[in-house]
Copies of this chain bind each other. A is one copy, B any other.
Amino acid sequence: MRENRMSETSYDVIVIGAGAGGVPAAIRAAQLGGRVAIIEREHLGGFCMNRGCIPFGQMMVASSILGKILLGKEMGLDFTDISTNYSALITRQNELISFMRQGVKGMLAKNGVTLIEGVGRIVGKGRVEVNGSIFPCENIILATGSEWVRPDFPGADLEEATNSDYLLSAEELPKRVLLFGESPWLVEIAQFLQRFGSHAILLTKDKSILSSESKTVSSRLRKVLKREGVVIKTEGEIVSGTKKKDGLHIELSSKDGREILVVDRIITIERRAFLKGLGLEKILPGDTGPYLSVNNKMETGVEGLYAIGDLTGPQLRHYSHLSSEQGIVAAENAMGRDVAINPRTVTRVLFTQPQIACVGLTPKEAKKAGYDVVVGSAPYSMNPFGMIISENEGIVELVAEKKYGELLGVHFFGESACEMVGQAILAIKMEMTLEELAKISFPHPTLSESLVEAARDALGEAIYLP
């Protein structure tokens, strides 16, 4: 074993992992005057850019365009012979990703961040080893993300049992796909597959899809998916998978009973914090558990050691925007500031069509937290723009505290939800009350008007509701 060389440069901050959290962390630390290095073992941009948000984001856009065509037909736009060319989508995806990787490289260079390619490993307090060299530093920000957990049913080791990565390089889409798990992301994939001509079956252990969100949202989503032909099976478990001539025979149990489904692929995306090989045992006492615990300042409890992103929470909190926010907070704290993330404004989004975007508490959560809860809502079927675009299932639901009208949560189901939720994030962040929100004037005709109407509804003063 060769001896480790000691780097001459001592860094203020070393970030391990150049993904959605690590990159802004490194740039922010450099902006604040730090000497910063970032270590990446594989591709700049991490899971989000290379295998998550970006490629699947594109798929969801393609899927929503197919949805728009149905609306167009109502409006006299006639399309004949619509065909889908999956390999063209994948080619564009790869071009996008490659362009974005270059972008990240450029941003890091512009901000004077040193990029080190290789596997980073903690070898002691303020000492990180990469490719046999030791890099001393004042602070370490861990941002290594998460990794897929292969399920453990008999047959889960078959070639046909895959994760989401499979779709990124498939020549064509499998005809019958079983999507198994609790991740909301599986719902996006199911809708995409169904619209691109596959048959998608969603199987979850939970009592419903999106079980942690407001019923207003999850029940509408279920209705839309079912109408499109996606089969949803709840309280489910896979007993075994067997490869046969006509496909993969999956024996499963669900609320519908015991049955055998014949499919071409199973896709699961259970993910866990990527902790192995980081050398945590060198500085963190005891077992870390399934993920690294941090406070709202992204501190691990060990001085100079921060952790951000998927590494620090269960899969339901694996959102790139949370990673970025945490990355910036960790960087600022590492550079001597004293800042914290606002856990109330972490947004849960789904780029299905209609989109879903939820921020803050559900009615159930708010009641459980002891609030005297008032709920207001405004369906898009009563919103002029909603009527124009036939967004009949769409709705905004708003949860507030009764006495002072404090906003506790807002849930959007409909077109542009993932953009519109920004309004709710700002309102919660700025501690707006229902009274204040009810007085806002948003442009007409837009879906945003329904947010104001939902606030009025919560106050018993709806103007445009029947």
Contact = CB atoms under 8 A, between A and B. Distances in A.
Interface of A: 20, 24, 27-28, 31, 48-49, 53-54, 57-58, 61-62, 65-66, 68-69, 71-72, 74-89, 92, 96, 99-100, 103, 106-107, 110, 319-322, 324-325, 328, 339, 341, 345-347, 349, 357, 382, 384-385, 387-389, 416, 418-423, 425-427, 429-430, 432, 436, 439-449, 451, 461, 463-466
Contacts of A346: 441
Contacts of A69: 65, 69, 79
Contacts of A419: 416, 419-420, 446-448
Nearest to A322: B441
A420 B425 CA distance: 12
What copy number does this chain have within its complex? 2
Given A61-B75, A416-B419, 6 more contacts: A28-B463, A31-B463, A66-B77, A321-B441, A422-B443, A430-B432
Nearest to A75: B62
A78 B85 contact: yes
Contacts of A80: 79-81
Which interface residue of A68, A76, A345, A346 has the most chain B CB atoms within 10 A? Answer: A76
8 contacts: A65-B72, A79-B79, A100-B387, A103-B466, A321-B443, A418-B446, A418-B448, A421-B443
A96 to B, nearest CB: 6
A76 B99 contact: no
Nearest to A96: B387
Nearest to A45: B384
A453 to B, nearest CB: 11
B440 A425 contact: yes
Main SS of chain A's interface residues?
helix
Contact of A443 (B74, B349, B429, B430): B349
Contacts of A54: 384, 388, 445
A388 B61 contact: yes
Given A80-B81, A92-B76, A107 B444 contact: no
Contacts of A77: 62, 65-66, 82-85
A422 B444 contact: no
Nearest to A346: B441
Contact of A87 (B53, B71, B76, B107): B76
B48 A444 contact: yes
A61 B389 contact: yes
The 9 A-B pairs with the shortest beta carbon distances in the complex, nearest first, are A76-B88, A76-B85, A325-B441, A321-B444, A65-B72, A320-B444, A430-B430, A76-B89, A422-B448
Contacts of A443: 319, 321, 347, 349, 357, 418, 421-422
Contacts of A389: 61
Nearest to A321: B444
A384 B57 contact: yes
Contacts of A78: 81-85
A419 B305 CA distance: 40
A28 B452 CA distance: 14
Contacts of A339: 439
Contacts of A85: 76-78
